[in-house]
């Protein structure tokens, strides 16, 4: 029997705020905080719009990823940034316990509860990416990241890409670009916690150039992304995307 869907939205890099307690660690890093290294421009706005349109729970962090990266696993070399990785061990542990674990544990507990009540969770994590990195121009407007080995994720991203291409054929929508869906991140972590028939984790990546353009074009892109997502989730004429696979901070 098919599980009813429970949709969840998260935004791990929604802002570049640094709690006053740790401000001294960021002396000399002010420009970095304002850059794409400090946060994902536009990701929070889009996360809120998706949550509103889908009446979905929303979990966000507006603390900078340069304090601690909520989209990295414990032990990952980039969990802490150059501003915090050399802080005393007790300070790093405090940051982990007060700013990382509460967010991650809250999201995981919410998913576990929804699954325990019989739902299949569709988790959409909102991000954005810089148009150019290390001299390489990113050739995409929108990226959809997923694990190809999980049929529900692959099918939802295929549907979403198709809906986006129909609505905005001029956009380049790519799957597992500019990163691979299996890279270390919150969705990858949650896949190890929950089976494929109960958890679908997708990372949405929007090119910063659309965010920086602002105005009507940015608003139109957000609306089309949300509309196409709703179409992809509810498209009853397409095969069941389950496949055959086994609050705020």
Residue range 187-209, pLDDT digits in tens: 999 999 999 999 999 999 999 99
Q: Which of 21, 9, 72, 29 is nearest to 201 (CA)?
A: 9
Give the separation between CA 122 and CA 134, rounded to whole angstroms.
33
Q: Which pLDDT band holds residue 134 (cuts at 50, 70, 90)? A: confident
Tell me how far CA of residue 245 lies from CA of 4, 67, 143, 149, 183, in angstroms: 16, 37, 23, 8, 20
Provide mean pLDDT across the span 35-60: 97
Examine residue 9 and state whether it is found in any structural domain, yes or no.
Answer: yes
Examine residue 169 and state whether it is found in any structural domain, yes or no.
Answer: yes
Q: Does the reported pTM lie above 0.85? A: yes
Contacts of 205 (CB under 8 A, 6+ apart): 127, 128, 129, 140, 142, 143, 144, 145, 178, 179
Examine residue 168 and state whether it is found in any structural domain, yes or no.
Answer: yes
Structural domains in the chain (count): 1
Distance from the Cα of residue 31 to its chain's centroid: 24
Examine residue 76 and state whether it is found in any structural domain, yes or no.
Answer: yes
Residue 48 sits in a domain whose CATH number is 3.40.630.40
Provide mean pLDDT across the span 1-29: 94
Q: Which of 186, 169, 184, 174 is nearest to 144 (CA)?
A: 174
Residue 219: give the domain boundaries. 5-234
Examine residue 241 and state whether it is found in any structural domain, yes or no.
Answer: no
Tell me how far CA of residue 142 lies from CA of 23, 31, 176, 184, 227, in angstroms: 34, 26, 10, 20, 14
Examine residue 149 and state whether it is found in any structural domain, yes or no.
Answer: yes
Name the average pLDDT for the chain: 93
Examine residue 244 and state whether it is found in any structural domain, yes or no.
Answer: no
Question: What angle in degrees, to the nearest 10, is found between the helix axes of 151-167 and 215-234?
Answer: 130
Farthest CA pair distance, the chain: 57
Q: Which of 223, 204, 208, 210 is nearest to 156 (CA)?
A: 204
Examine residue 249 and state whether it is found in any structural domain, yes or no.
Answer: no
120-129/5-11 β-pairing:
parallel
């Amino acid at each position: 029997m098919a599980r009813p869907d429970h949709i969840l939205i998260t935004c791990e890099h929604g802002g570049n705020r640094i709690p006053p307690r740790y401000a001294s660690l960021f002396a000399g890093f002010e420009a970095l905080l304002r850059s794409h290294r400090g946060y994902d421009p536009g990701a929070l706005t889009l996360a809120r719009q998706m949550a509103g349109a889908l009446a979905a729970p929303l979990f966000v962090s507006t603390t900078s990823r340069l304090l601690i990266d909520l989209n990295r696993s414990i032990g990952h070399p980039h969990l802490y940034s150059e501003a915090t990785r050399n802080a005393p061990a007790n300070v790093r542990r405090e940051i982990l316990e007060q700013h990382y674990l509460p967010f991650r544990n809250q999201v995981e507990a919410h998913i576990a509860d929804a699954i325990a009540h019989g739902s299949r969770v569709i988790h959409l994590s909102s991000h954005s990416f810089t148009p150019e990195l290390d001299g390489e121009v990113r050739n995409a407007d929108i990226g959809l990241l997923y694990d190809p080995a999980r049929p529900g994720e692959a099918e939802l991203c295929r549907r979403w890409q198709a809906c986006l291409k129909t609505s905005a054929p001029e956009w380049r929508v790519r799957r597992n670009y500019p990163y691979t869906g299996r890279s270390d991140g919150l969705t990858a972590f949650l896949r190890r916690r929950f089976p494929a028939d109960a958890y679908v984790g997708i990372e949405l990546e929007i090119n910063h150039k659309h965010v920086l353009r602002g105005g009507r074009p940015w608003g139109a892109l957000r609306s089309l992304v949300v509309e196409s997502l709703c179409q992809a989730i509810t498209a009853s004429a397409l095969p069941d995307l389950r496949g055959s696979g086994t609050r705020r901070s």
